[in-house]
A and B are shown apart, each in its own frame.
Chain A
Amino acid sequence: MNKQEALIDYCLRLGDNSLVLGHRLSEWCGHGPILEEDLALANIALDLLGQTRNLFTYAAAVEGKGRTEDDLAYTRNNYEFRNALLTEQANGDFAVTIARQLFYTSYAWLLFTELQKSKDETIAGIAAKALKETSYHLRHCNEWTIRLGDGTEESHRRMQDAVDSLWMYTDDIFAQTEGDALLIKEGIAADAATLKPKWDAMIKETLTKATLKMPEGGFMMKGSREGKHTEHLTYILGELQFLQRTYPGMEW
């Protein structure tokens, strides 16, 4: 893998994360526990979609084959997607959605904090903007984790179940590829290995405030970097890509 290929792969991976997670959050629209949360989740979904568009547009430009953001979102197959397995997991109850947000957003916040210093100016610019948005998203899921964890007996139980059930997907978020090593050396990408201990500390702090237990060890599922996904992704793509697949090459 050369540097160009590594950079395309890196942008696609980050863009896929926010595309798939944003898709999941947008499924809440009209069904949230309170109107304010319908707005908050739609707003976060919209920010994530914006991040995807920036990253895909850049990936397409680096590739230079005339593909567009839409080609990347709508015509790749499930094994070509590189989003973390966590992001494609189903919404479940509100606690599962919040736990998924907490795990992903804490990572995204650490990542964009690093990437805003990237030697690649476009990446740095995208990351700086995304970091501002992610700071709000982080506040949102931290506050909800604490409220649900330290709310009622029922909410505590649901929140702990959610944390426990998604834990097995958390290592996969940090998985790296050969190409990453190349980009890290050039100061373009962030070294996920250095983010992991910081992530552990952030999660621990929030879970402790929420009176929740941090899971330890256990089976960790991986595969997203090689395009090996859980059963959920094909359903997501089935919906997401339906119009473009049914009527290829149309203007909308």
Chain B
Amino acid sequence: MEDTVKQEDHFNEKLEKGDFIEPKDWMPEKYRKTLIRQISQHAHSEVVGMLPEGNWITRAPNLRRKAILLAKVQDEGGHGLYLYSAAETLGISREELLDQLHTGKAKYSSIFNYPTVTWADIGAIGWLVDGAAIMNQVMLQRTSFGPYSRAMIRICKEESFHQRQGYEIMVALSKGSAEQKQMAQDALNRWWWPTLMMFGPPDAISSNSADSIKWKIKRETNDELRQKFVDRTIAQVEYLGLTVPDPKLKWNEARGHYDFGEIDWAEFNSVVKGNGPCNRERLKARVGAHKNGEWVRDAATAYAKKQAAKAAGSLVA
């Protein structure tokens, strides 16, 4: 008992000093659980996020865009890999993590339950969705858990390239034909509100926020990050000559921020619960890939065992 108190004091001192918590350090069970939930949710989001974007690789409008999109989607898979590894340092296996995703126990970012129906959606995802993700990830570079922080530093470098390529697609479309411009506006209309929802529920009702701030897992609240995102993005919307689908959006001189309309949290909750346009398809695709790949993974394991047995045999001989 006394030991736990001492360990907890030591843990808090480290947080206080701004030192990283490393996998072998003592940590409160709830800190560990919160991190596993958050990191795995992040990893699953990267991997599920490959689906809506991967959807357009074969249809990219030119070879340069195709190469960029392929590289980007491959990066997302790579981010998934480091994040699964970071979660594994907390004592959970990739198999368990995948199982949680496939049974619906673990969540992924709800944004990927929206469909990519035109090429402009690839622009909007890079620009808005990756843009919103970056706000979160820049903050997470300073998160208190060492492996997560280090993964974020690496991931942020690639994400800023992703955001640029998305914005570049939007610029090309908004300077293009009337049809292309319409495509860009339509994508902005559909992605704007779901993107604002990505920052999570308002601080007043966010169930996980307070602990995460206390433990320095998160450094800024959902509402602070959301405001920062809106403030930063509006100038880009204006440059594109597009408009956000929010009649209440207005610069507030006194606050030094944009005011914006009420987010439809009923929609958010409904999509989180599984009732978005693509929830079933996304999960079906992930579960399907895992099931269809089972014989491949089994073969790899069987082959590795045979090789190990041969090597052991030759050592004995």
Chain A residues close to B by CB (< 8 Å): 23, 26-27, 29-39, 42-43, 45-46, 49-50, 52-53, 56, 69-70, 73-74, 93-94, 146-148, 150-152, 154-155, 158, 236, 239-240, 242-244, 247, 250-252
Please determine whether B51 and A150 come into contact, CB atoms closer than 8 angstroms. Answer: no
Picked from A33, A146, A247, the residue with its CB within 8 Å of the CB of B180 is A247
B:65-83 near A, CB below 8 Å: 65-67, 70-71, 73-74, 77-78, 80-81
Q: Verify A35–B172 contact, CB threshold 8 A.
A: no
* Smallest CB separation, A102 vs chain B (Å): 15
Q: Could you say which residues of chain A place their CB within 8 Å of the CB of B104? A: none
- CB of B302 within 8 A of CB of A152, answer yes
- Is A34's CB under 8 angstroms from B303's CB? no
Closest residue of A by beta carbon distance from B78: A39
Q: B interface, by DSSP: helix, strand, loop or mixed?
A: helix
Instruction: Tell me whether A69 and B63 are in contact (CB under 8 A).
Output: yes
Which residue of chain A is the closest to B299 with respect to CB atoms?
A151
Q: What is the CB-to-nearest-CB distance from A192 to chain B, in angstroms, rounded to a whole number? A: 26
Beyond the given pairs A26-B57, A30-B47, A56-B63, 8 more chain A to chain B contacts, judged by CB atoms under 8 angstroms and listed by A's residue number, are A27-B58, A30-B50, A32-B293, A35-B77, A38-B50, A46-B71, A151-B299, A240-B59
Are A73 and B63 CB-contacts (below 8 A) given A29-B73, A150-B306, A252-B172? Answer: yes
Tell which of A45, A150, A243 has the most Cβ of chain B within 10 Å: A243
Chain A residues closer than 8 Å to B73, beta-carbon distance: 29-30, 42
Question: A146: which B residues are within 8 A, CB to CB?
Answer: 303
Q: Tell me the complex Cα distance, A74–B59, Å.
A: 11
B residues 36-59 with Cβ under 8 Å of A? 47, 50-51, 54, 57-59
Docked complex Cα distance between A162 and B119 (Å)? 35
B-side interface size class? 35 or more
19 example contacts (A-B, Cβ-Cβ < 8 A) are as follows A29-B50, A29-B54, A30-B50, A30-B285, A33-B293, A42-B73, A46-B71, A49-B66, A49-B67, A50-B67, A70-B63, A147-B299, A150-B303, A151-B300, A152-B299, A155-B299, A240-B59, A247-B179, A252-B172
Closest Cβ of chain B to A188, distance in Å, is 24
User: What 1/0 flags go to B168-180 for Cβ under 8 Å of A?
Assistant: 0100110111011
CA distance A93 to B294 in the complex (A): 12
Asked if B292 is at the interface (CB within 8 A of a chain A CB), the reply is: yes
Give CA–CA (A252, B119) in the complex, Å: 10
CB-defined contacts of B59 to chain A, threshold 8 Å? 239-240, 242-243
Q: Which residue of A lies closest to B65 (CB)?
A: A252
B184 CB to nearest A CB, Å: 12
